[in-house]
Structure 1
Amino acid sequence: MGRKAEVEDDLPGFEAPAQGETAENDVSIQKKQKKGSGGFQTMGFSFHVLKGITKRGYKIPTPIQRKTIPLALDNKDVVAMARTGSGKTACFVLPIVEKLMSPVNKPLQGKNLRALILSPTRELALQTLRFVRELGKFTGLSSAAILGGESIEQQFGVMSGTTPDIVVATPGRFLHICIEMSLKLDNIKVVVFDEADRLFELGFGEQLREIVARLPSNRQTLLFSATLPKMLVEFARAGLSDPVLIRLDVDWKLPSTLWLGWIYVRAELKTAALLLLLDRVLTPNTQALVFAATKHHVEYLHLILQQAGISSTYAYSGLDPAARKIALGKFTNKRCSVLLVTDVAARGLDLPSLDTVINYNFPAKPKLFVHRVSECGDACPSGVWGAMPTTALELRHQDVMAWEKNHSEIEDAVRVSGRGWQQYVRWREAASAEANRKAKLTTPPTAPHPFLVGKGHMQAAELVDQIKSFRPKGTILELANKNDSPMYLAMKAKRRVHGKMVQKTRDSKMQQAEGMLEDNTKTNSNEESANVKGSKRKKLAKRDENYIPHFASDQHTESGMAVNFAASASSAELELRSDCDAGQRTHRTQMRWDRKRKKMVHVDPDGGRKMIRTESGGRVSASFRSGRYAEWRKRNAVQEDDEPADGPPAASERNVSEFRPRWMKHNERLSKKKAEASSNEFRNKQQIVKERLRKDKIKQKLKHKMSKKKKKK
């Protein structure tokens, strides 16, 4: 009988193999594969590592793995940006296993810990640990997890004996272990920050900096993240040496498959316009994601959609994590049609099959818009600029006004969201002068968007648009008076003199609004100043051929062609603002103006002292020890002493107390009994029964004394 095929579950570091593939097909595919086809065999892995990869049935690396693994094997520091599910786990697990297998990185005596992987959550750490053990199955490397919420004494045992080669840990508990045990990290070769943006978002920045300070300088650092906030860029500059930035989404352009619809509406009619859009796009099998500016707008829209009969849920940064998880679960399981979120709450959402995205409030940055939008159908051409149907919009607006007037909750939400919008306008980044100029020159559309109306309504809308855009040749002064009136004659003379200039100005404004005229103000002003009669031109200073300038003549060209992490990271930064005024005020209090750097920097709340945040949320000194490890060692030493020895101990191995005076031995025995009585781990049944009887006798004596006192009284 043949052996049954092992059923193996999918791993997060690789794409899942297609179902129905047999071993014969795998062998045929491997034979057809060329030597330079970009498989794992061409990356220089050893036999044991390749055996672990092929055991799982994976052969073709993902794009992020093709770019990252060769650099990691070349001992370079890497900052990699890729979305969740793109195979980032294998990008650091495979190089770690390969590097620890080499004879150069053999473990020293008592210093077996050679690789550290830091994860933001327990679930991700356990998932990574499972992946490490699967790929390193044939390498003989040991691995362990140091996680918060588990027995710290058990973790003392893991780290005090033969420490594992690879440790997957959460930052808070690992730093606690390092401080309590005075753990030295001198032999660590590779350190990985997995989901680094989540690590900083969850408040592990202080722990990460303290851990980095304990690491050796000759280590290799790998940093993986989905986004690149500014704080993470500063951390990478300080903790990494000449890092290489790898981005899969290198361009911030919108995809060609994206359908966009631009709808113009007044601010007071936006809620009614949202209801009309949802009525148009929602079907029993479709869903929509709505972005709002603040958490107050999210709560207000949730109440409005409840009155409109549209099932919805919401999430924002101040919401409880369990509630956010429930809301996302309802939306992904299609128990509701609309999900209302802010930019901060949508940071960790992965909704690949989303139908429609609606921006109730437009984002402050172009990068945020790229992160928000999703794909849609082709009901009309993409990028059309239109308005809402007036009649339907007014009817919906009347419903919204009635709800705001008759329901106290909605009335309060309107007032709070209005105040929140005022604060949001203050803290968001101001638009550039060029954007303001274009906005003033852009004429708002009068025709409704073709996505919202039918063909018959479009003809009527075009006729109304032509009537609205009609401009008579004469002014009101010419139309309301007779031909011989002084006002008519004055306007006619004015038109005769300045008519061409007025028409030229109108044409130029129309061309600027349509985007057909380029802005040549600077060049025109320079030409006009040069052509002015009598203007004095300054003579250019002639430099001597022996003159050596401070900067090279091709300085800007060389800096533009150079591979610079700072320049690449600045273009990839994505800083998310808070979605409430309280969060923004907290952010402002953490910043101060640095005169030397000429920018805002973070304030040190501890005044230069090294302080860290514990797992319970309190702040203690970075060198604080609770003494739990010393107690654990003492208990383990007592347990080892109680075990019977094979033979009589030598004179040099005897207990020191045997050579001490009698009273010293007596005190040691008493202290030993107290320690055993206080600890419940090493007590047998007889000791427990004896202790209970002793306590019962004490209670009976107390009762007897109390009864005697009562009789005397």
Structure 2
Amino acid sequence: MAPRAASPALSENEFDITGALFQNDSESDNERSSAKSKRQPKKKIPSQDLDFLGDVNDDDGDEAFIAQQQTSANRKASNLKGRTVKKGGGFQAMGLSANLLKAIARKGFSVPTPIQRKTIPVIMDDQDVVGMARTGSGKTAAFVIPMIEKLRSHSTKVGARGLILSPSRELALQTLKVVKELGKGTDLKCVLLVGGDSLEEQFTMMAGNPDIVIATPGRFLHLKVEMNLDLYSIRYVVFDEADRLFEMGFAAQLTEILHGLPPNRQTLLFSATLPKSLVEFARAGLQEPTLIRLDTESKISPDLQNAFFSIKSSEKEGALLYILHEVIKMPTGPTEMAQQRQGEDASARFSKANKRKRAEMEKAVNTKESPTQHSTIVFAATKHHVDYLYSLLHEAGFAVSYVYGALDQTARKIQVQNFRSGLSNILVVTDVAARGIDIPILANVINYDFPSQPKIFIHRVGRTARAGRKGWSYSLVRDADAPYLLDLQLFLGRRLVVGRENGDHVNFAEDVVAGGLPRDGLSQNCEWVTKVLGDDADIAAQRTVATKGEKLYMRTRNSASLESAKRAKQVVSSDHWTSIHPLFQDESSNLEAEREKMLARIGGYRPSETIFEVNTRRIGKQESEEALNTIKRVRTTLETKKKRSKANAKSEFLEDAPEGLKTGEGEAGKNEDEAAFSDADDIDAPTGVADDMSLASDSELEVTFSSYSQSNGNKSKKASAASFQNPDYFMSYTPNNNSLAEDRAYGVHSGTNSNFAQASRSATMDLAGDEGSRGFGEPRTMMRWDKRHKKYVARQNDEDGSKGTRLVRGESGAKIASSFRSGRFDAWKRGNRVGRMPRVGEAEAPNLAAGLNAALSGKRFKHRREQAPKRADPLRGDYEKMKKKADKAKERSMSKAGGAAAGGKSELRNTDDIRIARKLKQRRQEKNARPSRKR
């Protein structure tokens, strides 16, 4: 069969579709004309017949042809619209539509952030995701971009398809702004449902069939119950700032909302931290979720250097001031940026000539690169500590900002922005408030209150030493915090260096280095703090409140491990614990170090005598004889316990010792006490032991060690005889040996993200509340006695309880406010003459959709119809008043003969008006010219 002739038309690979992609571009006509003028003419493809028969067996030619076509296609894709596209990990490689790519470029996004690069491909693959990201890391765009790509355009079928739940009104407004900016070019309809707005307007918006709903949980649940919404059309659900949702008490609302969602939905959960209650919620509401966590969140940067300072409780404020003054060299007074703002002339700032300069300066101020080398975050335990430290540091002359959980959203934004823009150098925060704050450039982190978990420590210090920059973290460690320091040391797997026990060989980036502060500088700052507390009553009152809050914090924080608590006693009692820190080795000589040790010994001196024995010298032995006898009995009891514990240790050692030490063979058997408790250098070796060990054969060694293991086996049998476990049938809940590792290795779908429970175990972290003892998702323990049922019940369901509202059971069994079913939606339907609402899947009603369009456009209906006023009723008591009102309305109305428009009389007069006016004027003149009456 003869080959057919080549087609005169261009093939699909040679056809340029850029015009079809960007035919609705928003460029101006001038730009388009300039682009056309710059466009070069296409080269003509020579018309030649293709030799199909000659290329049948030519594989190299096919491969070259495919490579050439692919290269040309890539070249066209990279030069779309004349823009230079960054290759490798960009938005173009994620398979997004052209309109969405244009909206992303219009917003200014060129390269995706790390959380976007990891999250968007997984979301596009229709998987449930639990993402851990702080505020400012681009997480909003990480779930908005896939949502717009999936929804594409408005659906005329009734039912919302996207739902975004935010903890606060401000965050919901911010999300709405991002959705509108990225949704340009599409006809998607997005509504905002937050508290404080009119319910009737929200009824109108929800009845108009929106595509995306951005709401707070309380108001959305109210509308769901009031309107009896069917949520089975929702395909895409996002829980934004989920840890704050649980912290603010939305757990019951989220459970009720989750119950009404379809099972085939895609659920995304974004949070800065991952508390246990959130993990349980994710396991119940998400289907095989994938945990996405950045590497910087789970480990300490190698460029971070750590220093731990051992102090006393009374020296914490002075130690903080010493670190700021002497170690960080923090300048006092207003910052450079604050001085620049103060030095500007008001008239110059607001003049038209300097408008562009002012805009550039504000842009530079608002950038994330503004924090200086002295930028420091101070972590405190409670909000009361934050208030106290803010007042104290402000009194010391530092530029300070503060943030805690109960702070108003607007005030929080202002304080964080002041720190970002460089107006303040210090930011005092709590763990709860700082979990969502992202400061890209940060020099120092100070742990004023030592964290109770190693994960919290990593979460704190992970804010510094990023992107190859150096950073420091300084932690204040009291004697009570030493067990937590040892837990951190074991968690990091680093060497513990206390004081100067290892000389000058110290690496602050790889070791856990602890030590004391120089006594002179510390005492001066402590004296200044004491003086301020004596002079300022407000700061003293704040310290009293912070002390009370610290007691509650100490009772509710997690306890350290038992082994670390035992080791901490030895570490704290050593002389190196109070010795000067190696960080100050250049500033003090050996003589100064010895002086510091002596002062530390004097400060830590505890007399052996009790107060009863001291009083004996003053009041005599006869009057205090009873107290002395009591002290003697106590000491006798303690001595007996010590001897008993030593004897038990001796017996245990002898049971575990080899047979030679027990039976008395050789010289070592003559004195068992000496052999058991003397040092290794003082034990006399048996006769010929060295020769026998040097000439021992393999068989003798095997017999010796097998007999020793056999003796140990007999001991283990004795110990296991009292156990209830049968080794043949007992199944432990923890994996033994390497079975778990083998299962993971042979598993097809195994991996770090395949098992959410396993992946979340390392990321779970509960933060203690900064205002009370109640954590995330924990119910209130307030109970009262119910006289009717004869038992304690929660006050949450009382009419006079903590919330002051009566609760009812929802569809999921969770308790919701009974005020959600108020009947206002039925009244709205009667007022708007709406009959049956269209169900999910049906076509939308035009009149309801028009109401939504009017609400989204911001234009409201105004009455412009003009009617004649009603005639006044002579039988009414206000007849005269209504008559005057009707007359005025007639004067304002528009005359049919083309008179003045409504709103005022016409100023143009005709000849009749002029004649009447002249006649009235003449009468007034004649009246005024009359002579006065004669009496």
User: 1:393 aligns to what?
Assistant: 522
1:270 pairs with one of 312, 316, 332:
316
User: 1:199 aligns to what?
Assistant: 245
Q: Is the 8 A contact 1:65 1:88 kept in 2?
A: yes
Whole-angstrom CA distance in 2 between matches of 1:73 and 1:48: 17
User: 1:72 aligns to what?
Assistant: 123
Whole-angstrom CA distance in 2 between matches of 1:318 and 1:430: 26
Structure 1 residue 430: Cα displacement: 0.9
Structure 1 residue 168: Cα displacement: 2.3
1:449 pairs with one of 581, 594, 615:
581
Any idea what the Cα deviations from partners look like across 1:147-195, whole Å, max 9, x if unmatched?
A: 333333233222223x122222232332222223222122111112222
User: 1:186 aligns to what?
Assistant: 232
User: 1:490 aligns to what?
Assistant: none
Q: Secondary structure in 2 aligned to 1:260?
A: strand
Q: Rg larger in 1 or in 2?
A: 2
Q: Is the 8 A contact 1:450 1:458 kept in 2?
A: no
1:632 paired with 2:816, answer no
Structure 1 residue 413: Cα displacement: 3.8
2:223 pairs with one of 157, 164, 177:
177
User: 2:331 aligns to what?
Assistant: 283
Structure 1 residue 214: Cα displacement: 1.5
1:402 paired with 2:534, answer no
Q: Is the 8 A contact 1:187 1:216 kept in 2?
A: yes
User: 1:87 aligns to what?
Assistant: 138
Whole-angstrom CA distance in 2 between matches of 1:121 and 1:699: 55
Q: Secondary structure in 1 aligned to 2:322?
A: helix
Larger CA deviation: 267-276 vs 90-99: 90-99
Matches within 5 A, 1:4-403: 27=82, 29-30=84-85, 33=87, 37-50=88-101, 52-53=103-104, 58=109, 60-101=111-152, 107=155, 109=157, 111-161=158-208, 163-249=209-295, 252-280=298-326, 281=328, 282-283=330-331, 286-373=374-461, 374-375=464-465, 382=508, 384-403=513-532
Any idea what the Cα deviations from partners look like across 1:292-346, whole Å, max 9, x if unmatched?
A: 2233333333443354344444443344445444444444444444333322232
Q: Write the letter of the residue equivalent to 1:160.
A: A
Q: Is the 8 A contact 2:377 2:428 kept in 1?
A: yes
User: 1:568 aligns to what?
Assistant: 759
Task: List structure 1 runs of 4+ shifted beyond 6 angstroms.
Answer: 23-26, 465-470, 496-500, 526-529, 538-541, 547-554, 680-696, 698-701
Label 1:197 to 1:469 Cα distance change in 2 as closer, same or farther (>3 A).
Answer: closer
Larger CA deviation: 295-304 vs 272-281: 295-304
Whole-angstrom CA distance in 2 between matches of 1:550 and 1:24: 63
Whole-angstrom CA distance in 2 between matches of 1:689 and 1:204: 54
Matches within 5 A, 1:503-518: none
Give unpaired runs (5+ residues) of structure 1.
6-22, 471-493, 506-525, 542-546, 593-601, 613-617, 640-679, 702-713
Whole-angstrom CA distance in 1 between matches of 2:873 and 2:323: 74
Q: Is the 8 A contact 1:448 1:461 kept in 2?
A: no
Structure 1 residue 49: Cα displacement: 4.3
Structure 1 residue 260: Cα displacement: 1.7
Label 1:192 to 1:318 Cα distance change in 2 as closer, same or farther (>3 A).
Answer: closer
User: 1:610 aligns to what?
Assistant: 809
Whole-angstrom CA distance in 2 between matches of 1:431 and 1:297: 23
Structure 1 residue 364: Cα displacement: 0.9
Q: Secondary structure in 1 aligned to 2:30?
A: coil
Larger CA deviation: 222-231 vs 406-415: 406-415
Any idea what the Cα deviations from partners look like across 1:257-315, whole Å, max 9, x if unmatched?
A: 22222212222222221221121221255343222223333333344335434444444
Label 1:404 to 1:245 Cα distance change in 2 as closer, same or farther (>3 A).
Answer: same
Q: Write the letter of the residue equivalent to 1:94.
A: I
Q: Secondary structure in 2 aligned to 1:344?
A: helix
1:557 pairs with one of 728, 741, 752:
741
Whole-angstrom CA distance in 1 between matches of 2:132 and 2:879: 68
Q: Secondary structure in 2 aligned to 1:589?
A: coil
Label 1:549 to 1:359 Cα distance change in 2 as closer, same or farther (>3 A).
Answer: closer
Q: Write the letter of the residue equivalent to 2:552.
A: Q
Label 1:407 to 1:217 Cα distance change in 2 as closer, same or farther (>3 A).
Answer: same
Label 1:685 to 1:107 Cα distance change in 2 as closer, same or farther (>3 A).
Answer: closer
Label 1:251 to 1:585 Cα distance change in 2 as closer, same or farther (>3 A).
Answer: closer
2:768 pairs with one of 554, 570, 577:
577
Whole-angstrom CA distance in 2 between matches of 1:127 and 1:95: 18
Structure 1 residue 197: Cα displacement: 2.0
Any idea what the Cα deviations from partners look like across 1:200-254, whole Å, max 9, x if unmatched?
A: 2333322222221121122111112222122221211121112111111376321
Larger CA deviation: 68-77 vs 92-101: 92-101
Number of aligned residues: 570
Q: Write the letter of the residue equivalent to 1:575.
A: D
**Structure showing greater relative contact order (alpha-carbon pairs closer than 8 Å, 6 or more residues apart):** 2
Any idea what the Cα deviations from partners look like across 1:550-579, whole Å, max 9, x if unmatched?
A: 799975336666432122222211211122
Q: Write the letter of the residue equivalent to 1:610.
A: R
Whole-angstrom CA distance in 1 between matches of 2:133 and 2:876: 64
Whole-angstrom CA distance in 1 between matches of 2:84 and 2:569: 61
2:592 pairs with one of 437, 452, 461:
461
Whole-angstrom CA distance in 1 between matches of 2:875 and 2:761: 72
Q: Write the letter of the residue equivalent to 2:825.
A: Y
Q: Is the 8 A contact 2:432 2:769 kept in 1?
A: yes
Label 1:273 to 1:532 Cα distance change in 2 as closer, same or farther (>3 A).
Answer: same
1:422 paired with 2:551, answer yes
Q: Is the 8 A contact 1:121 1:170 kept in 2?
A: yes
User: 2:43 aligns to what?
Assistant: none
Label 1:212 to 1:698 Cα distance change in 2 as closer, same or farther (>3 A).
Answer: farther
Give unpaired runs (5+ residues) of structure 2.
1-27, 33-77, 336-373, 474-505, 602-670, 683-705, 722-727, 784-792, 799-806, 836-860, 883-935
Label 1:528 to 1:340 Cα distance change in 2 as closer, same or farther (>3 A).
Answer: farther
Q: Write the letter of the residue equivalent to 1:620.
A: A
Any idea what the Cα deviations from partners look like across 1:674-713, whole Å, max 9, x if unmatched?
A: xxxxxx9979776998899999729999xxxxxxxxxxxx
Q: Secondary structure in 1 aligned to 2:120?
A: helix
